[in-house]
Copies of this chain bind each other. A is one copy, B any other.
Amino acid sequence: MGNQKLYKGSLQTIILKLLESNDKMYGYEITQKVKELTKGELNITEGALYPALHKLEADGLLDVEVAKVGNRLRKYYKLTENGTKETANKLLEMQEFLKTMQHLVNPKFSLE
Contact = CB atoms under 8 A, between A and B. Distances in A.
B37 A3 contact: no
Interface string A75-104: 000000000000001010111111011111
B38 A3 contact: no
Interface residues of A, number: 39
A31 interface: no
B105 A3 contact: no
Interface of A is mostly: helix
A47 to B, nearest CB: 17
Output the residue of A9, A13, A103, A111 with the most chain B CB within 10 A.
A111
Interface stretch (A17-25, A48-56, A60-68): A17-25
